[in-house]
Amino acid sequence: MKILQIRFKPLFLTFKQPYHWSGRVDYGAAVILIEVETDEGLIGRGESTAAFPADGSLQLLGNIVPLLLGRSPFEIDRLICRARHLGLINDTIRFPNLALAGLDMALWDIAGQAAGLPLYEMLGGLVRDEVDYFSFVQGDTAAELTESVQELLKNSGSVVYMKVGRGEQSDVENTAAVRKLIGDNYKLRLDGNEAWNVFTAKNMIKKLSAFDIEFVEQPTPCRTIAALKQIKMSSPVPIAADQSVYSMQEAYDLCRQEAADVLVLSPHETGGISPFKKTAAIAEAAGIPICLHGQFVSGITDLCQHHLGLTIPNLTDGSQIMHQLLKEDLLDGSELEPRAGKIGVLPRAPGLGLKLNWDAVSRAAEAYNHWTGNKLKNVEFVYSYT
């Protein structure tokens, strides 16, 4: 079997409501739908995250296509490693990983279809029968957060998650309001999104610890493990690394230096499914749990991550899922709708088991063209083997 054609379609995913975090407010996100077709008619699909517009990611992906066309789709690790190491991608690992992950995802989808097995069985099989997902509280003020919590608790799991890093008074008031509403029956996590320096982080975590915090995620800038370690050594609550860990090497350094209590990971950050499994194993060897990280993605990625979550021994409760923030998802079906915060084993479809809503895909493509000023419809970049 050979790779005959690769197609990239940039899309814009519109959020139901503004997405609030310490850096800014977002109203939607760009992704790239990737399709890899073989000479035997199998089509594997994946999704890459991208900045807006997605020109940089599209160019990077286009540059590596010659390495894949005409090759076996089963050489997944070999093809992705060649793309990463043969000089077509610079040594800044984060941007390439986000782009390569969707291509890796599509290749695994083909492998599962060819084998007639769902992805979780291709990855070693189930180690659990369900994955627990947190409730993501949205809003800027205590009143907005309270309204969001009241709606979320109707179908909530055991963990509530909220953003901080918006100023001392707001953080304390907002955290107090959410804790008061959820009582002692739920774990409460905070995400600083790199908003604090070491001095501020120490002071803020001390204040916020009064509200029984399960852990604080990425309180300091991601480029320095030393800062994160300083916080962890003095913090009254556990500390999670998110933006600080985009590779197996970074995971190794974080574990070796005892700089985090939890690693928050996605296959996009690690650059694919195999690197994700390897990174999770590094953390497992160090006795550190993994939490699935949600980015601005559709159900395509969330479906892939759920397959992974079912196979990870050291997975925490309260992983992140993001497609529910979208005005319209790209998938048909309700398999990815948590019930009491949990999603069980998926129907046994081969590969990722994707059921795309092609009308939704077309609308997302039109939205991308609208926001980029492109007058064409359903732009697609097609590369064929000749």
CA 133, CA 156: separation in Å to the nearest integer? Answer: 8
Strand order in the sheet with 43-50: 43-50, 25-38, 3-20, 381-384
Residues 33-46 have pLDDT tens digits of 999 999 999 999 99
Pick the CATH number of 3-116+353-384 from 3.40.640.10, 3.50.50.60, 3.10.129.10, 3.30.390.10: 3.30.390.10
Residue labelled with tokens 């500390």: 239
Please count the other Cβ atoms lying within 10 Å of the Cβ belonging to residue 69: 16
Please report the pLDDT score of residue 46 as a whole number.
Answer: 97
Domain boundaries, the chain: 3-116+353-384, 121-344
Percent of the chain that is helix, strand, coil (3-state, to 5): 40, 20, 35
Domain 121-344 fold: TIM Barrel (3.20.20)
Please report the pLDDT score of residue 377 as a whole number.
Answer: 67
Please report the pLDDT score of residue 22 as a whole number.
Answer: 67
Residues 49-66 have pLDDT tens digits of 988 889 989 998 998 999
Residues 195-245 have pLDDT tens digits of 999 999 999 999 999 999 999 999 999 888 999 999 999 999 999 999 999
User: Half-sphere exposure (CA, 13 Å, Cβ side) for 382?
Assistant: 8
Name the pTM for this structure: 0.94
- The answer to whether the 3-116+353-384 and 121-344 domains have the same CATH topology is no
Asked whether the beta carbons of 168 and 180 are under 8 A apart, the reply is no
Mean pLDDT of the region 143-149: 88
Residues 168-209 have pLDDT tens digits of 999 999 999 999 999 998 999 999 999 999 999 999 999 999
